[in-house]
Amino acid sequence: MIVGIPKERRPYEYRVGLPPAGVSLFLQHGHRVYVENGAGVGAGFRDQDYGREGAQIAYSAEELFGRADLALKFARPLREELEGMREGAALAGFLHLAAAREDKLQLIAEKQLTALAYELVQEDSGERPIMAPLSQIGGRMAVQIAARLLQNDHGGRGILLGGLAGVPPAEVAVLGAGVAGSTAAAAFLEAGAHVTVLDSELRHLQALQAGHGAGLLTLLATPPNIRRVCAYADVLVGAVAVPGERAPVLVGREVVAHMKPRALILDLSIDQGGCIETSRPTDHGSPTFLEEGVLHYCVPNISGVLGRTATHALFMAAYPYLEQIANLGLAGALQASPALARAATRYSPA
């Protein structure tokens, strides 16, 4: 099997699908690894680093995708990347196909590609082990992003997250008590903000409350509760995800319109379509926009600017599954691992 590691081409994308340490994982099982020239630069890896581990360098995307039986990406594929893949090949990465354009899905079907979506790798326990560390990164980044965007010079309300003696802290509402939401809630609490978390599952709220005590307010995510909390929030974090589906829209435009002027929305669900009606994808170069008088931050690849940390996090989480693929081949690994099988889709032409 030929494994290909392409350079990510989306704007402000510095991550890479496999660090040099992962090359030997495939070589020791008799596979070949090709790495596109400069693929690891954003994460601090040189071509020489890959070469020392035994990888061969491909000097164009066309060569890389033309050779690869399995392409290991990080971010969602571009149409031109899909066009360059060989018929019947496989593609792994954070693909978010539930929110993909129809023409991309048709192209995947026409080429009979096997799509392995890391975000859908799910153990019998319900745990999503590859998605979890990236969700943690997003949750932690939410605090530093919010702290900056609440400043007047970034369009915010001019509020310090943790407040001051005699001055109340920021009101932060987190919609969703999964990994990203729970991580964000804990980080906002540490920053001194007053935090409310809403979720539709009482057991998630109970677990979160047990870990943080009375300093955290938890509520069921009913429409009345969502409207009430949004009305007083300085920061609203959307962290809702349904594996394999588009994120449900839980905050409508009319609710956003009744939020405080220049309040801040961070829609961490935007890579799955967003959970707030007024959200639309942005990028790190122009990350915010104003809608209904509310500042929105909706960057799908939020960890894309933490190239090295995110790449290492992906590799550590994906290692057991990549080892199965290296040892058994993709078809054998899918048969042996129910967790991997849940993440794989083979599209067929209509």
Q: Which residues of the chain have pLDDT under 70?
A: 347-350
Q: Is 271 a catalytic residue?
A: yes
Q: Is 96 a catalytic residue?
A: yes
Query: Strand 114-117 relative to strand 216-220: parallel, antiparallel, unpaired?
Result: unpaired
Q: What pLDDT, on a 0 to 100 scale, did the predictor assign at position 61?
A: 94
Q: What pLDDT, on a 0 to 100 scale, did the predictor assign at position 145?
A: 98
Q: What pLDDT, on a 0 to 100 scale, did the predictor assign at position 244?
A: 80
Same CATH topology for 2-127+306-346 and 131-304: the answer is: yes
Of 96, 194, 204, 296, which residue is the catalytic one? 96
Q: 269 with 240: CB under 8 angstroms? A: yes
Please give the model's pTM, rounded to 2 decimal places: 0.92
pLDDT tens, 160-207? 999 999 999 999 999 999 999 999 999 999 999 999 999 999 999 999
**Residues 35, 167: Cα–Cα separation, whole Å:** 54
Ordered by start, the domain boundaries in the chain are 2-127+306-346, 131-304
Of 47, 234, 267, 271, which residue is the catalytic one? 271
Q: For residue 5, give the H/E element and its range.
A: strand 2-5
**Residues 293, 49: Cα–Cα separation, whole Å:** 48
With 0-12 CB in 10 A as exposed, 13-18 as middle and 19+ as buried, what is 158?
exposed
Q: 272 with 96: CB under 8 angstroms? A: yes
Residue range 131-304 in CATH 3.30.413.10: no
**Fold of the domain built from segment(s) 2-127+306-346:** Rossmann fold (3.40.50)
Torsional sign, CA 193, 198, 204, 209: positive
pLDDT tens, 308-332? 999 999 999 999 999 999 999 999 9
- Tokens 């007053």 sit on residue: 194
* Closest among 133, 78, 127, 76 to 99, alpha carbons compared: 76
Q: What pLDDT, on a 0 to 100 scale, did the predictor assign at position 227?
A: 97
Q: 176 with 191: CB under 8 angstroms? A: no
